[in-house]
Amino acid sequence: MPQAPPPPAPDPAGLTRAARLVRTTLLLLLAGLVVTMLPTPWGLSAIGFAATAAVVGGRAVVVALRSHGGVQIVAPALMLTVSAVLGVAVGAASLYWLPVQTRYQECRESALTQAAQHACTAAYQTDISAVQTRLQNGG
């Protein structure tokens, strides 16, 4: 019975490059997470960070597979890439809520008293209910 050929030896230069790409993907995801804390227009840049992380992470997976990297490098690259793609999806979905969030943020910034802040919160909750009703009715 013929034996299967031995698996090819890992390419050290390719594994180093894949590890660097995995590290870059992680840093892009962390940067995206940090910018989500910024006010509304700037927080949307997290979608760009996530999209870039998805591309870099996909490249890391390809490089790791081509350099015959083991599970130690392919699995983190794949998990970070999936996380980045999910980040893009969540960010894109959050664009639907952008007008409501912007109105709430502007209201809170201009509210000088606690009563005005409570009025902003009440208007925000009303806006959220209206959007949810619109979504439930297929709009």
Residue 4 has pLDDT above 90, yes or no: no
Query: Does residue 95 register a pLDDT over 80?
Result: yes
Rg of the chain on CA atoms, in Å: 22
Q: Render pLDDT for 27-80 as a digit per residue (tens, 0 to 9).
A: 999 999 999 998 878 888 999 999 999 999 999 999 999 999 889 999 999 999
Domains of the chain by residue range: 12-136
* Predicted local confidence at residue 139, as pLDDT: 62
Residue pLDDT, tens place only, 102-129: 899 899 999 899 999 999 999 999 999 9
Distance (Å, whole) CA 111 – CA 118: 9
Q: Fill in the amino acid letter for 35.
A: V
- pLDDT number for residue 8: 84
pTM of the model: 0.80
